[in-house]
Chains A and B, each alone.
Chain A
Amino acid sequence: MQENYLAKWLNGDLTEAELLEFKNSDAYVSYKRIADATDGLKGTEFDDSRAYQALKNRRELQDRKVVTLHPFRKFFRVAAAAAVLIMGSYLYLSLSDQTISTSYAESKEITLPDLSVVVLNADSEISYSERKWDNHRKVDLEGEAFFKVAKGERFTVATDAGQIVVLGTQFNVEKRKRFFEVTCFEGRVSVSFNNKETQLSAGSSFTAIDGEIVEAAAPGTSVPSWMNDESSFKSVPLKYVLDEFERQHDIAVQTQNIDLKQLFTGTFSNTDPDVALKSISVPSQIKFKFEGDKVLFYGENTP
């Protein structure tokens, strides 16, 4: 009889002669009985649709767990996808540094390699090196951006006016011409300006206008106002307010016979230019009129 004949027999692989020989052996009856008793023996019950339901529940639970840890997961994904697209095209152009910029009346969300998020306000630009990112979290900024920094090693935002160093927090940086402002929304931020370091705690701001440090009021919000489609100012020279209007609405601004140094406190809409114009002109006691696609602000006494 061939090797492993019992296995062959169970599988119906024995030759006729072998089968006959096996059937005549003493052991056949008991083997046959075992085979019969185990043939079509039912396994224990397994309800696969119930098991699948249970699995789905666990999957969901797991997903929800992740969501509670990262409430911005979905948002990250979209932001990451957008960023990948943008970065991809930039990578094609320059292999070294990633540069992302916005034009007038535009804002963008960028996810950095460590999942830190940068939201760029209008007419702003950031650049960083993806290659060196792992041991060098540094972003160059021109314009205004809100940073939500993932915990980790020091994270630096470098501007022409000064540097901001943090470990993991949320803050806003605005550097426009001679206007430099850093607002801390969470954690602690260290600002170095003219070789002088200032520590900011949550809810406080650092402002420098024309190279002079100015006392600034706390923002009292959890994100910068521009992220809610508004631009807010507290005692800011009118010049910078009008610049911001220009950036947000992509409408060129001209002025005539008005004091650009007068301080403006207030808020204007980033979505509705008509409302914004009124919000600026009424408290400043100036007038405005459209001239083609430009807007002219002029003093009360000007004809």
Chain B
Amino acid sequence: MTSLKSKDTGNVCDEQVFGTLFKANSKMIFNYIYYKFGNEEKAYDAVQEAFLKLWENCAKVPPEKAKSFVYTVANNLYLNVIKAEKVRLKYADKSLKTTHEDPEFLMEESEFKEKLDNALNALPENQRITFLLHRVDGKKYAEIAELEGVSVKAIEKRMHLALKSLRDKIEGI
């Protein structure tokens, strides 16, 4: 964090500072919006809009505020969008960790994956965002809490509920 802080000093209008901020935050914004809506295009646009706004306001936003600025813009962008489409998250199929080649096992595995995807898509928005930021992006609870503007405890609650309902969905309880 300290190294990031020192890199952030300077003016956001400076191309280098701006570039560093983009590198540091664009993927997270992309993921955040993607987990929220399950729509890649929206996530991509959110990144563009947020950073364009940051550029337009670069003189007014100090570097240490830039992160929360772009998150707020990205978040507000779809505030009024009616969520008509179903969330359809897709994950790049991770290479199988196991070496089992038993077809029955593989069949079972892919079935489980499908169930997991469906369960994830069915989660309430804030639980899904929290869960995936932690599992996929390895974000700490404290970081997610800061991002969402809630307490760490609230994030733990969401995590807990998310895992619980994932199991319920998958097991068909």
Contact = CB atoms under 8 A, between A and B. Distances in A.
Interface of A: 3-8, 10-11, 27, 30-31, 33-35, 37-46, 48, 51-52, 54-55, 58-59, 62
Interface in B126-173: 131-132, 134-137, 141, 153, 155-160, 163-164, 166-167, 170-171
Given A4-B160, A6-B164, A7-B156, A38 B26 contact: no
Contact of B92 (A38, A42, A52): A42
Contacts of B43: 46
Given A7-B141, A43-B136, A62-B52, A51 B47 contact: yes
A48 B22 CA distance: 8
A4 B164 CA distance: 10
A106 B97 CA distance: 79
9 contacts: A4-B153, A7-B156, A7-B157, A33-B112, A38-B131, A42-B136, A44-B89, A46-B27, A51-B30
Contact of B156 (A4, A41, A45): A4
B40 interface: yes
B135 A38 contact: yes
Contacts of A52: 19, 22-23, 26
A42 B44 contact: no
Contacts of A44: 34, 40, 89-92
B55 interface: yes
Contact of A59 (B55, B159, B171): B55
A52 to B, nearest CB: 5
A51 B94 contact: no
A66 B170 CA distance: 54
A10 B22 CA distance: 30
Contacts of A35: 135, 163
Interface of B: 19, 22-23, 26-27, 30-31, 34, 40, 43-44, 47-48, 51-52, 55, 89-92, 94, 112-113, 116, 131-132, 134-137, 141, 153, 155-160, 163-164, 166-167, 170-171
B91 A43 contact: yes
Contacts, number: 105
Contact of B163 (A34, A45, A46): A34
B160 A48 contact: no
Contacts of B48: 51, 54-55, 58
Which 3 residue pairs spanning A and B have beta carbons closest together? A7-B159, A7-B156, A4-B160
A34 B119 CA distance: 11
The B interface, classified by DSSP as helix, strand, loop or mixed, is helix
A34 B30 contact: no
A39 B135 contact: yes
A41 B135 contact: yes
A37 B136 CA distance: 10
Contacts of B132: 38, 41, 43
B171 A30 contact: yes
Nearest to A49: B23
Nearest to B95: A42
A43 B159 contact: no
Contact of A11 (B31, B44, B94, B141): B141
Contacts of B34: 43-44
A18 B167 CA distance: 20
Contacts of A42: 91-92, 94, 136
A46 B167 contact: no
Contacts of B90: 44
A46 B131 CA distance: 19
A158 to B, nearest CB: 36
B163 A41 contact: no
B113 to A, nearest CB: 7
B76 to A, nearest CB: 18
A296 B35 CA distance: 85
Contacts of B44: 46, 51
Contacts of B134: 10
A37 B116 contact: yes
A5 B89 CA distance: 27
A284 B74 CA distance: 73
A11 B92 CA distance: 24
Contacts of A5: 160
Nearest to B91: A41
Nearest to B155: A7
Contacts of B167: 27, 30-31, 34
